[in-house]
Structure 1
Amino acid sequence: MCSSPAPFGGEQWGLGHEGEHSRVPRGALPRLSRTAAPREPRSTCRRGGRGQRARGCAGNQPSSRDWGVEERASGHAQWGGGGGDGRGRRGDCCLFAAGPTRRHRRRRSAWRSRQVQLPQHHVGAPLRVAAARRRGPGSGGCQTPGRGQGSSGGGGAMVVITSARGGGGDRAPSRRRGCGLARAGAAALLAGASCLCYCRSLQGEFVHDDVWAIVNNPDVRPGAPLRWGIFTNDFWGKGMAENTSHKSYRPLCVLTFKLNIFLTGMNPFYFHAVNIILHCLVTLVLMYTCDKTVFKNRGLAFVTALLFAVHPIHTEAVAGIVGRADVLACLLFLLAFLSYNRSLDQGCVGENFPSTVSPFFLLLSLFLGTCAMLVKETGITVFGVCLVYDLFSLSHKQDKSSNGALCPRSPQQPRSDQSSSLPGHPHRENGKHQRFPHKGAWGGCHSPLPPEPKSSGFPVSPPAVWSMMRYLTASSNRNFLLTMRPFFKRAILVLSYVLVILYFRLWIMGGSMPLFSEQDNPASFSPYILTRFLTYSYLLAFNVWLLLAPVTLCYDWQVGSIPLVETIWDMRNLATILLAVVMALLSLHCLAAFKRLEHKEVLVGLLFLVFPFIPASNLFFRVGFVVAERVLYMPSMGYCILFVHGLSKLCTWLNRCGATSLIASTVLLLLLFSWKTVKQNEIWLSRESLFRSGVQTLPHNAKVHYNYANFLKDQGRNKEAIYHYRTALKLYPRHASALNNLGTLTRDTAEAKMYYQRALQLHPQHNRALFNLGNLLKSQEKKEEAITLLKDSIKYGPEFADAYSSLASLLAEQERFKEAEETYQAGIKNCPDSSDLHNNYGVFLVDTGFPKKAVAHYQQAIKLSPSHHVAMVNLGRLYRSLGENSMAEEWYKRALQVAHKAEILSPLGALYYNTGRYEEALQIYQEAAALQPSQRDLRLALAQVLAVMGQTKEAEKMTNHIVSEETGCLECYRLLSAIYSKQENHDKALDAIDKALQLKPKDPKVISELFFTKGNQLREQNLLDKAFESYKAAVQLNPDQAQAWMNMGGIQHIKGNYVSARAYYERALQLVPDSKLLKENLAKLDRLEKRLQEVREKDQT
């Protein structure tokens, strides 16, 4: 590809003016002309038609192979200087460029009238052009072109032509090395700032939405296999086609969570670490993007990325783990944008619009954009950004005549490359190589426009509007559509692809939109169009304000946080109008600079600000929030670009002292943003800190009170929870969930019932209110009504596993075992990932006599939830009942590894006690009693072990202490009776049993046991008749009491009533046919009867 030498218009040849001198080989000085010379681009080569060879360069100038360009900078770096990058610019040594003084503008105006003519004997001999910076007030330390010459920095330039074969050494390698070090240093600073601002979040836990998206997500939780459901379920693990689905389709983000768990488990530290790394990458890629496509100065790109790295609005997206969707989508968004730019011809373009020179990068852009959409829905907006940027920026670089040659410009005609405030290479647009625009470029090849007046600061100048009108009416632009063919091809491809992926998105959603409640987005439920329009418009201004002044930040902005704008007289409409005016001016500014490509920073800033926010603007569909700080992560890139561009413009309008003050203020702002971000990280460390901060920040928000009350309820702080539930209801009386939860904390059943009924009046399909009311009626023995409500709860919440368990247990109590089993099976089918449901079904199977089937469900519960210690304990008890004591002990110990609790130690201690391992049982019960010293049953079990081991005094003391605390303790009296009996103090033992009987327990089996124990004590005192009466009372209450029947037979046996004794023995034998003692007594009775019969026979003879 051929190119022409760099344009010489406006540069002074020969000795530098107030600058350093450069030596020129003898005979190499060019002749100077007083005639105006047209500005020429760096490359003026024109391509021929398809299949033709490239023609010569325009203007018959020597090619770049004959002439080389070297720029040298002299003078000292000062504020206002721009930086080079090894491509002809000096290293970026400052942030913003200071404008030239009036004296320097007059000198540059004089230099524009000079033209350089190269001597013929140097054609073909490589030359270098060395530009020496002028020194003086307002001059920068970087090589920058002047106004009208492509220069924006202060001071002129001294250009000296030297032969490539002569002096003037090449400093490009050293500049490139320095530039590489500068880039590495900038990247290190950005990465360090990003990590320092968010390193505190590494200590955070799973909070808020993290619990539902990761901990409780069946597609993500540990042990769940990698299955196709990830690509058919939403972000929270529900099927996309279901009515209750949130319709947030983000499978790639879910896969990153799954990968996190696969590599590091459920440790939240590594989840936060990945988020911070992704944020660092986004910051670095943003700096690269700004350097390549936005700013002429790498210093400005660095400041933009630094502002983005420390902005407090990103805290929710980075410190909240589910915010990874926004961060990763932003990274893919930028990569897709860069790939699209890389796919286009960056060099000399024969057609008016650049052709696609790399289909690979174009397809890569489509792929990355699709990945961004599969991470979060807003990622699809990158395609709109690419097309608009292509149309308004990439395709219009320089003016060109109708025949492909450069258009000479009259002295009165405005130049197509007005000076910018940012330093850059004089032959590059925004520091990058330029391309040609299409034929008939505005202000390029038409008749001269009216003279351009001096800038008044208004973004749309009258010549710009005149240029647009002339362009639209020019007869030479009738073939405009033909010249746009390359762009049309790309646009058709991209738009067709977008339609395909949008159709896929609608198909995976089942053709339905998500369902939201009024508290999620109150404005969208307003019946008045004016209210919706005014509120939506104001919300746009409110989001912009959060970017400008992130002072008040909150994790949730729903339910009363921002009152509706219901009238045009609301003062908040002024903010909306102000935003509309600013956006209109910026848009007109971009249109005015359309062909001249002035201030591309404004164009890119607007694209990055507006397009990613469109899905959250309620413009096309209702969203499930009022304001969400996380969705501003991508739009904040545009804000940062516009903010830094505005600062750079202010620097050019201020004097040196004012520019220094502005830069100092910017540094102070960055420090304040960093401090705010660090403080916000502390809020996201735990559920308590997060929910408490919401109450402190937005006390008029009912949702934050509700969330904080839920946390307090989980912590057992019921009084505080009730206060915040009532506060939420005071702020939003229609909060059905708050009414339902308040009912669960109310001890008064009548009041609780009232809360449940009010919740159902507001929301008749509230499945949890139906569930709670059903359980309340169940406790009141209104079982049929309870069954109806529980069935309705399942109907409106088919994935509510607790409703299946409660209904099945109620049916089992009524001995409707078939219906109960069907309910359990339906629940397992609809909620296959519910570990509690599998555990409860296992309990049901054990109770109905299918213990072996129960083993499989207990194991499935443990597989779904490896920390399900209740299922482990139940499995241990099951193995204990089956006689497999070693397996029972193993599962008890596994449960203890998960949760070291007294309720797990207790069955393990019982196992040791019943197998005669009293020492181990004593140790276990002592440990359990230490964990829960107020637990009566544990202390009784400990006293029982002590009594068995012979430590009756300690056992008696411990039991009497319990009786003093609770006089109605039936088990205490039974244990005291056993202790006194072991001490052979039968009178006290008998007295303890009588006290137990005086408590009048309701269970007949318990009373039967007490009478049996009393009979034993009377038998020890040889009071056989009273003992017999006690045994008789025991079997009357519980006919299955085999020991009582046997002891009654024994008493009759002793008394010599062998017939009665045999009758009682045989009755006991029916209950315990394998009793050896009973068989021995019967054998003794047979021998006695035989002897008696022999004696009788002898007496008769």
Structure 2
Amino acid sequence: MKKKLSVIVCLSSLPFLFTLNGDFVFDDSEAIVKNKDITSEYWTDVFNNDFWGANVKSNLSHKSYRPLTILSFRLNYLLNKSSLSALHFKITNLVCHVICCILLWKVFEHMVNGKKSNKGCKMSEKCTSQNGFSQKWWMDVPYLSTLLFAVHPVHVEAVCGIVGRADLLASMTFFLAFLSYNKATSSLHWRYIYLICTVTLSAISMLCKENGITVLGLCVVYEIVVNLKPKGRDLTKSKGFNYVQVRVDADSIFRIIFITLSAMSLLYLRWIVMGGIKPEFKPTDNPTAFAENSFTKVATYSYIYFLNVLLFIWPKWLCYDWSMGCVQLIKKIADVRMLPVVLMYIYGILLLKAIFYSRNRKSNRTIILAVSLGVIPFLPASNILYPVGFVIAERILYISSAGYCLLIVMGFSKLLHRRSLFTCKIGVFMFLLLLLVYAVRSWSRSIAWQNEYNLFVSALAVCPLNAKVHYNVAKAADANHETSFALAEYKEAIRLFPEYYQAMNNLANILKNQKQFAEAEYYLRAAVKHKKDFPAAWMNLGIVLAHTRRFDQSESAYRTALNYRRKYPDCYYNLGNLYLELNKTEEAINSWSQAIHQNPKHVLAWTNLMALMDNTGQIERALKIIPTVLTELPDAPSINFAIANMYGKLNRYGEAETHFKKAIKLLNIEVQAIHYANLGVLYHRWKKYSLAKEMYINALKIDPTFQTARKNLDSLQRSNK
């Protein structure tokens, strides 16, 4: 028992260890880093907002109500001294995965062995009657199924992506709810308590992630196939099919009714929480949901189901985002992709036929439970009940993969049943090889989840027709200063999706920085054409127009941006820069002041405001705001530098020296020649000539062509002769 537990812990941990030193990636940024519900002072807001921090009753919300998951993120944040550390979050995810594997081991034992799970594995009957091979651990179906689940590569997204915590917590409580229900069916004195615990745990699971409530459906199936007893065997036969009369058990009927009513009540409460409003998605999120042709919908959804099954069997093609063009719509019956769809449904029919015609009720029971474990948790993501906002999501498959693992190991068990010792050893070798392949694939995939660049680039081989993949690759490449690669990827994203206004805006920003203003203007005008209320594009268009000295059009673009987004400090900052260019001093001051009002820590606005007041002789006005700016930004180098210059002009040398030194210390390796040169001027005026000389020399070391420092140094040396 202890050895098996140790192996489960090791196998469920090792393939995912390499991601622990990774960053917040992809959805982690929106759900955790930018989510005020995790970092704010008021923790009760989590019960009013969705997973992404928006009001759950808003029309713009995706209705993903997972307050308990958000609270777990908040706990990570608080335990790490109110700071966001990806390491702590990832360790928690890994621990949750290990716990899920241990719980699933018990779930499998109940599914395979029924209520007497403590007697070992009964599915693993003898390979041969004489070799005793069946007594070995490697024929333990629940245990081997758990090992397969522990290393399955489809779990990498749930374990390595921190937002996958929702799936892990939902799975933990899902398995606990099932185990509680098993107790409710076998306990005499505590059965009602366990039944209430089952419903409570399912509610908790639902508050971690929506599909957690599906455990109640699995419990109903378990009740039907395990606890409803046959009245007699082979009472009537027709062509080999066994019609078995079932004895109606009052306790079973009560449990089924109780579970069904509880599920309906929880769903109704969930609907109330959503404000009675269904989530709204874009065609780019789930293109199939917006297909007009019924055949296209059915065929494409069926193909998506096949791809999900394929990810279980051969998880080579893993991708963080399957939206947009990843899965092209099937519009004709002659589409070659219809072949695997048809074969999948034929296999499903044959499996059902085999179950109905088989006389091995125990084996049938386990197969039905395994299929149910695979299918029922997937139903909320199947688009059958309602459209969802994604095409394929690997983390959604976390629970469903357990059903696949159980089916695979049962298949191995059946194949090795009453075979020779040599055949059994070959079978064991093949299974261990499968474990190794899955573990290595999980390890390699977890490396991709260490940072966004690796993750996004890895998707190019899987979904080359997904514009969003190219867009994210471009963003990551730009952050890595791979400008040419970023330009190419943005253009490819726009080629694949000509209305991709976000890509147009980002592409224009790069072109703007390269002084290619005409091309930047072209993409920005295209962006606001496709999305008129796009404040960022309007602001960037204003910047481009200002660079090309079309000031009236630039001001109009800034005003349009502010009409669409009232609170936009960056836009007010740029508008202030425009007014400065037009020598409208007071308008510039007002614009920067508005930027500061909206964002008191807007360093650039503060810096420009103080510099303008200094340069226009409004020293007294500038001095009045110094206490405020130092309260908001005490460690901003540019602020300290600006204050030092003002104090220097007022001959307040000591205060000026303090702020000059602080600015230089904060800048560290980014210090520029002008910082040392200005401190040198201060010492020069202060008559501390040796220090002035030292500062001028430091400035010239950084920039030997800095003429001001050169002239001041020459003047100092001549005066000292």
TM-score, reference length from structure 1: 0.56
Structure 1 residue 214 corresponds to structure 2 residue 32 = yes
**Which amino acid letter does the alignment assign opposite residue 346 of structure 2?**
V
**Which amino acid letter does the alignment assign opposite residue 201 of structure 1?**
T
Shift of residue 674, structure 1, vs aligned partner: 1.0
Shift of residue 961, structure 1, vs aligned partner: 4.6
CA distance in 1: counterparts of 2:20 and 2:710, whole angstroms:
56
**Which amino acid letter does the alignment assign opposite residue 729 of structure 1?**
I
Quick check: which has more Rg, 1 or 2?
1
> Which residue of structure 2 aligns with residue 802 of structure 1?
570
> Which residue of structure 2 aligns with residue 336 of structure 1?
177
Shift of residue 892, structure 1, vs aligned partner: 7.2
Structure 1 residue 315 corresponds to structure 2 residue 156 = yes
Structure 1 residue 760 corresponds to structure 2 residue 517 = no
Structure 1 residue 374 corresponds to structure 2 residue 180 = no
Over 3 Å counting, the alpha-carbon distance change for 1:279 and 1:978 in structure 2 is: closer
Structure 1 residue 669 corresponds to structure 2 residue 434 = yes
Runs of 5+ unmatched residues, structure 1: 1-182, 348-355, 400-408, 415-447, 454-460, 472-479, 829-833, 863-868, 922-944, 964-971, 987-1101
Shift of residue 254, structure 1, vs aligned partner: 1.9
**Which amino acid letter does the alignment assign opposite residue 948 of structure 1?**
A
Which of 238, 242, 245 matches 1:463? 242
> Which residue of structure 1 aligns with residue 271 of structure 2?
506
**1:748-789 superposed Cα distances (whole Å, 9 cap, x missing partner):** 211111111222233333333223213323444545544444
Q: Contact 1:790–1:807 at 8 Å: present in 2 too?
A: yes
Q: Contact 2:323–2:390 at 8 Å: present in 1 too?
A: yes
Shift of residue 950, structure 1, vs aligned partner: 8.1
CA distance in 2: counterparts of 1:985 and 1:316, whole angstroms:
70
**1:402-458 superposed Cα distances (whole Å, 9 cap, x missing partner):** xxxxxxx6xxx53xxxxxxxxxxxxxxxxxxxxxxxxxxxxxxxxx424x87xxxxx
Structure 1 residue 387 corresponds to structure 2 residue 174 = no
Shift of residue 302, structure 1, vs aligned partner: 0.5
Q: Contact 1:842–1:857 at 8 Å: present in 2 too?
A: no
Which of 327, 331, 342 matches 2:168? 327
Over 3 Å counting, the alpha-carbon distance change for 1:637 and 1:860 in structure 2 is: farther
Shift of residue 307, structure 1, vs aligned partner: 0.1
> Which residue of structure 1 aligns with residue 705 of structure 2?
962
> Which residue of structure 1 aligns with residue 301 of structure 2?
536
Which of 249, 259, 273 matches 2:75? 259
Which of 808, 815, 836 matches 2:586? 815
Shift of residue 681, structure 1, vs aligned partner: 1.6
**Which amino acid letter does the alignment assign opposite residue 104 of structure 2?**
L
CA distance in 1: counterparts of 2:594 and 2:256, whole angstroms:
56
Structure 1 residue 280 corresponds to structure 2 residue 98 = yes
Which of 392, 399, 418 matches 1:627? 392
> Which residue of structure 1 aligns with residue 9 of structure 2?
191
**1:917-937 superposed Cα distances (whole Å, 9 cap, x missing partner):** 999x9xxxxxxxxxxxxxxxx
Shift of residue 855, structure 1, vs aligned partner: 4.7
> Which residue of structure 2 aligns with residue 949 of structure 1?
693
Partner of 1:815, secondary structure, is: helix
Structure 1 residue 360 corresponds to structure 2 residue 139 = no
> Which residue of structure 2 aligns with residue 742 of structure 1?
507
CA distance in 1: counterparts of 2:292 and 2:3, whole angstroms:
56
Shift of residue 914, structure 1, vs aligned partner: 3.0
Alignment of 1:389-788 (within 5 A): 389-394=222-227, 396-397=228-229, 399=231, 413-414=233-234, 448-450=235-237, 461-464=240-243, 467=244, 486-587=251-352, 596=361, 598-652=363-417, 654-746=419-511, 747-788=515-556
Partner of 1:532, secondary structure, is: helix
Shift of residue 800, structure 1, vs aligned partner: 5.8
Partner of 1:343, secondary structure, is: helix
CA distance in 2: counterparts of 1:663 and 1:533, whole angstroms:
40
**Which amino acid letter does the alignment assign opposite residue 339 of structure 2?**
L
Shift of residue 982, structure 1, vs aligned partner: 4.1
Partner of 1:324, secondary structure, is: helix
CA distance in 2: counterparts of 1:209 and 1:569, whole angstroms:
37
CA distance in 2: counterparts of 1:709 and 1:322, whole angstroms:
23
Partner of 1:693, secondary structure, is: helix
Tell me the C-alpha RMSD between the 2 structures: 4.0
Over 3 Å counting, the alpha-carbon distance change for 1:918 and 1:500 in structure 2 is: farther
Over 3 Å counting, the alpha-carbon distance change for 1:704 and 1:368 in structure 2 is: same
CA distance in 1: counterparts of 2:568 and 2:444, whole angstroms:
38
Q: Contact 2:573–2:592 at 8 Å: present in 1 too?
A: no
Shift of residue 680, structure 1, vs aligned partner: 1.1
CA distance in 1: counterparts of 2:450 and 2:328, whole angstroms:
29
Q: Percent identity?
A: 28
Over 3 Å counting, the alpha-carbon distance change for 1:308 and 1:503 in structure 2 is: same
> Which residue of structure 1 aligns with residue 670 of structure 2?
902
Over 3 Å counting, the alpha-carbon distance change for 1:909 and 1:549 in structure 2 is: same
Q: Contact 1:841–1:854 at 8 Å: present in 2 too?
A: no
**Which amino acid letter does the alignment assign opposite residue 472 of structure 2?**
N
**Which amino acid letter does the alignment assign opposite residue 302 of structure 1?**
Y
Over 3 Å counting, the alpha-carbon distance change for 1:576 and 1:820 in structure 2 is: same
Over 3 Å counting, the alpha-carbon distance change for 1:506 and 1:811 in structure 2 is: farther
TM-score, reference length from structure 2: 0.82
Partner of 2:36, secondary structure, is: coil
**1:197-232 superposed Cα distances (whole Å, 9 cap, x missing partner):** 1111122222222222222322334xx424322222
Farther-moved stretch of structure 1 (636-645 vs 336-345): 336-345
Q: Contact 1:947–1:955 at 8 Å: present in 2 too?
A: no
Shift of residue 670, structure 1, vs aligned partner: 0.8
CA distance in 2: counterparts of 1:856 and 1:306, whole angstroms:
60
CA distance in 1: counterparts of 2:364 and 2:669, whole angstroms:
67
**Which amino acid letter does the alignment assign opposite residue 146 of structure 2?**
A
Over 3 Å counting, the alpha-carbon distance change for 1:892 and 1:316 in structure 2 is: farther
Shift of residue 617, structure 1, vs aligned partner: 1.5
CA distance in 2: counterparts of 1:847 and 1:960, whole angstroms:
26
Shift of residue 806, structure 1, vs aligned partner: 3.9
**1:847-884 superposed Cα distances (whole Å, 9 cap, x missing partner):** 6747656755764578xxxxxx54x6526755885769
CA distance in 2: counterparts of 1:568 and 1:510, whole angstroms:
40
CA distance in 2: counterparts of 1:649 and 1:380, whole angstroms:
32
Over 3 Å counting, the alpha-carbon distance change for 1:950 and 1:600 in structure 2 is: closer
CA distance in 2: counterparts of 1:701 and 1:976, whole angstroms:
56
Shift of residue 306, structure 1, vs aligned partner: 0.1
Shift of residue 309, structure 1, vs aligned partner: 0.5
> Which residue of structure 2 aligns with residue 227 of structure 1?
43
Over 3 Å counting, the alpha-carbon distance change for 1:582 and 1:887 in structure 2 is: farther
**Which amino acid letter does the alignment assign opposite residue 236 of structure 2?**
L
Q: How many residues align?
A: 678
> Which residue of structure 1 aligns with residue 145 of structure 2?
304
Q: Contact 1:554–1:697 at 8 Å: present in 2 too?
A: yes
Runs of 5+ unmatched residues, structure 2: 122-139, 614-620
Q: Contact 1:767–1:792 at 8 Å: present in 2 too?
A: yes
CA distance in 2: counterparts of 1:956 and 1:611, whole angstroms:
70
Q: Contact 2:154–2:395 at 8 Å: present in 1 too?
A: yes
Partner of 1:463, secondary structure, is: strand
CA distance in 2: counterparts of 1:658 and 1:494, whole angstroms:
45
Q: Contact 1:873–1:895 at 8 Å: present in 2 too?
A: no
**1:300-328 superposed Cα distances (whole Å, 9 cap, x missing partner):** 11101000001111111112222222112
**1:636-671 superposed Cα distances (whole Å, 9 cap, x missing partner):** 011111111222122227554433322221111111
Q: Contact 1:877–1:888 at 8 Å: present in 2 too?
A: no
Q: Which has the higher contact order (CA 8 A, sep 6+)?
A: 2
Alignment of 1:40-189 (within 5 A): 183-189=1-7
